[in-house]
Structure 1
Amino acid sequence: MVLAPLLTQGRVVLGLLRLHPSRRGGGTEEPPRDHVLMVGAGSTGMPLLETLVITPHRVIVVDDDPQLVDRIRAAGIEAHRGDATNRGLLRRVGASDARVIVSTVTRIEDNEPLLEEARGVPIFVRAFEDAEAEWLTAHGARPVGYGDAAADSFLEWFDRRGWETADDLADAELEDVL
């Protein structure tokens, strides 16, 4: 009780918060491997997420909406708050060692850090226009046309492939998805 006035000063509180384990970012924890990474889980990503979580693979979600991240966590799914341009976050969620990545972020250029960090990983990215699809293809992604039909096609492909190996996924072509 004698220390209460000291411990409640703003400067001291901020210093103590920095020491809390939840603020340290894991430090020595190894990034995940061989998982499904979903970047962006808004209204277009949620139906896909519902399907992905019933697979036998670990699913990790990255989204910049704190309320959505809280809801996803409440459902028992690993979720991280942040955006697709944050390279540190992409490393922590194991983007370079994912089995497959699905991005539904709206701004296509926001995927560039993801595409650079996860070279060699099959990355499916939602595209709205032909120019976006061309840009994505040139940067190593597999563009998926926007709409319900595209989501259905991806899920069909996902089931058909059977998740045999990451090499099988890496060899997939856009024609296999659409």
Structure 2
Amino acid sequence: MSFDRRKLLAAALGGTALLTTGCMTKPLRPANADGTYCYRIGKSYRPKLTCTPGPVPSAQVESQALDFGGSADRLTVYLVRKRWGDTEHVISVSTPGVAPAQTVPESFARLRLAPGQHVLTATWPEGTAGLEISGKAGEVLVVEVIGQVWAWGSKYRLEPGTIDDARERTRNLRLVADVG
């Protein structure tokens, strides 16, 4: 086999491997019969499940939320929770006067708030974290819920994100809360 032929074969194999990596993403788990959604970690006969406390929004609401559009009279905030070290805990994200959004790992939520300033608070069994946000009617904000879970404890924080990053990160995530 000539050197040029080997290079061509190696390039073809490398290109095929690169193109098929998109097919290797984890499939989205369906909602349970009771409407809740569970994030599963582990492939053993006893996987660890982290489930939403209530039913998740419908597929129609989820597809509308994936457009990342705003509401003319409300401030729209998308909470995105997808990090490699975040593998458990239901995290409640709340702001005064609004029902909390309950998130599980590898999920996202949409909050529609009154225009103005708000303090978002994330609560988990070992602590809380906060982030002050502000926006006008029709504006869309993204907040990343960033967490790490270790054997000795867990830590979470809220950080501003971008819509472009959120679109990419939510491609295979489940909408678990639609508040407001």
> Into which bin does the TM-score normalised by the smaller protein fall?
under 0.3
> TM-score, normalised to structure 1's length?
0.24
Relative to its length, the structure with more helix (as a share) is 1
